[in-house]
C-alpha cells in the first residue's frame, strides 16, 4: 500500500506529489491525464517568476518534476470510487474504471474542474483565439478591445467589472431576463461607463475570420430575432463544474459540488485530503492549486506521523 495516494494529475496533484515524495514516503498518483486544465491552455503569463510559458510546455515541466522523485504514476486511469477506511488507522481504497484497486494510508483528491461550455458553433474552433474562460489569465490580451462576457451570474459580472478596467468595452449577455449576480456587483457594473448589459439573450454562435474571433450572434429570446455583436473576445462564464460526481457518497460536498476542506486541506473523512479546483478554495488558478496541493501533502504527512 501507499503512504499517500493522489487522485488527479494537474498542478494541485503535481505539487502534492512532489511535497509528499520529498518526505521519503511511498507516493502514488492515479490520473486520467497529466497536466490537467493546463493542457487546454495556450499562453500562461501569471505563473509567478515565469514571465511566459505555454500550457503543453508547463504540463511537460510538471511531469518531469514529479517523475524525478520516483512517484508511481498510474495513467490513463479514471478513479470511480473512494472506499474510506472502516476504522481509523486502516487503509483507504481507490478503485478505477479499469478494475484496479489501490490502497493507501492517506488520500489526496485533486481532480480539478471543467468549465461549462456554451455548446455553440465557433466556441471550440476559436478557443485560445478569442474565446476564453479565464479573465485573470487572458484579460490583458484584450487591452483596448471590445469584448463580450457570456453569463450574468457572480463570476460573469466579476469578470465584466475586471475586464472593463483593461478593455475598451464590455457587453454582458445573460440568458435570463435579469442578471443573477449579487446586487453590489450589479451596481458596480452599472457605475462603469464602458459596459452594456443585454438580458434575455441566448448566444447562438461565435463568429470569426478563420484566425480569430470577430463577433458573436445571439437570439433575443423575447422576439426570437437573431442579432450580431462585433467583439474581439468572448469570455464564457457560465459555470465551473468540479470533477467530483464520483465522490457524492463519501466526502462532504458544497452545494456547488466542491469538496469542502479546511485551511489544511482536510475533508470530513480523517486521512482524506483535497486540493485545487475540485475544492471550496476561493479563486481557481495554477499558483493557487500549487499552494493547495503542497498544503494537503504536508497535512497528510502530519496525519501519518500522528497515526
Residues 219/223/228/229 CA torsion (nearest 10 deg): -90
Residue 9 marked in a binding site:
yes
Instruction: Point out which residues bind ligand FAD (CB under 6 A).
Output: 7-13, 30-33, 36-38, 40-41, 44, 46, 78-79, 110-113, 115, 133-134, 137, 243, 246, 276-277, 284-287, 289
**Cell numbers 474542474: residue:** 113
- Give the integer Cα–Cα distance in Å for 298 and 266: 11
Strand 233-236 to strand 240-242: parallel, antiparallel, or no bridges (unpaired)? Answer: unpaired
Residue 7 or 272 having the CB closest to ligand FAD: 7
Residue 8 or 152 having the CB closest to ligand FAD: 8
**Cell numbers 478569442: residue:** 130
Residue 267 marked in a binding site:
yes
* Least distance in angstroms from the C-beta of 149 to ligand FAD: 15
* Least distance in angstroms from the C-beta of 104 to ligand FAD: 14
Residue 69 or 221 having the CB closest to ligand FAD: 69
Q: Running DSSP on this structure, what letter comes out for residue 280?
A: S
**Cell numbers 480523517: residue:** 270
Strand 195-198 to strand 169-173: parallel, antiparallel, or no bridges (unpaired)? Answer: parallel
Give the residue nearest to ligand FAD (CB): 112
Q: Which three cell numbers stand for residue 92?
A: 483507504
* Least distance in angstroms from the C-beta of 306 to ligand FAD: 26
* CB-CB contact of 5 with 77 (8 Å): no
Q: Which three cell numbers stand for residue 100?
A: 484496479
**Cell numbers 495516494: residue:** 5
Residue 14 marked in a binding site:
yes
Residue 94 or 172 having the CB closest to ligand FAD: 94
Residue 195 or 244 having the CB closest to ligand FAD: 244
Torsions phi, psi for 292 (to 5 deg): -65, -40
* Least distance in angstroms from the C-beta of 7 to ligand FAD: 5
Residue 149 marked in a binding site:
yes
Residue 272 marked in a binding site:
yes
Q: Which three cell numbers stand for residue 3?
A: 503512504
Residues forming the annotated binding site?
3-18, 146-160, 267-277
From the annotation, which residues make up the binding site for FAD? 3-18, 267-277
List, as residue ranges, the binding site for NAD(+). Answer: 146-160
Amino acid at each position: 500500500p501507499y503512504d499517500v495516494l493522489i487522485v488527479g494529475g494537474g498542478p494541485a496533484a503535481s505539487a502534492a506529489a512532489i511535497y509528499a515524495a520529498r518526505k521519503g514516503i511511498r507516493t502514488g498518483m492515479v490520473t486520467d491525464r497529466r497536466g490537467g486544465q493546463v493542457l487546454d491552455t495556450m499562453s500562461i503569463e501569471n505563473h509567478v517568476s515565469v514571465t511566459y510559458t505555454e500550457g503543453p510546455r508547463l504540463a511537460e515541466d510538471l511531469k518531469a518534476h514529479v517523475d524525478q522523485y520516483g512517484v508511481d504514476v498510474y495513467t490513463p486511469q479514471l478513479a470511480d470510487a473512494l472506499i474510506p477506511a472502516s476504522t481509523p488507522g486502516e487503509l483507504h481504497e481507490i478503485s478505477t474504471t479499469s478494475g484496479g484497486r489501490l490502497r493507501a494510508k492517506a488520500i489526496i483528491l485533486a481532480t480539478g474542474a471543467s468549465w461549462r461550455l456554451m455548446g455553440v458553433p465557433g466556441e471550440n474552433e476559436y478557443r485560445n483565439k478569442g474565446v476564453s474562460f479565464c479573465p485573470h489569465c487572458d484579460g490583458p490580451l484584450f487591452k483596448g478591445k471590445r469584448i463580450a462576457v457570456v453569463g450574468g451570474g457572480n463570476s460573469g459580472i466579476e469578470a465584466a467589472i475586471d475586464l472593463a478596467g483593461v478593455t475598451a468595452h464590455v457587453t454582458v449577455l445573460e440568458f435570463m431576463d435579469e442578471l443573477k449576480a449579487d446586487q453590489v456587483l450589479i451596481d458596480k457594473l452599472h457605475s462603469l461607463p464602458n459596459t452594456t448589459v443585454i438580458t434575455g439573450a441566448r448566444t447562438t454562435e461565435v463568429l470569426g475570420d478563420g484566425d480569430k474571433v470577430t463577433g458573436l450572434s445571439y437570439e433575443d429570446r423575447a422576439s426570437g430575432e437573431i442579432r450580431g455583436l462585433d467583439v474581439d473576445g468572448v469570455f464564457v462564464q457560465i459555470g465551473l463544474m468540479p470533477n467530483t460526481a464520483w465522490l457524492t457518497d463519501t466526502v462532504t460536498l458544497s452545494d456547488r459540488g466542491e469538496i469542502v476542506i479546511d485551511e489544511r486541506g482536510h475533508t470530513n473523512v480523517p486521512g482524506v485530503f483535497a486540493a485545487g479546483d475540485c475544492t471550496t478554495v476561493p479563486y481557481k488558478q495554477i499558483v493557487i492549486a500549487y499552494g493547495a496541493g503542497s498544503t494537503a501533502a504536508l497535512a497528510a504527512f502530519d496525519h501519518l506521523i500522528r497515526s
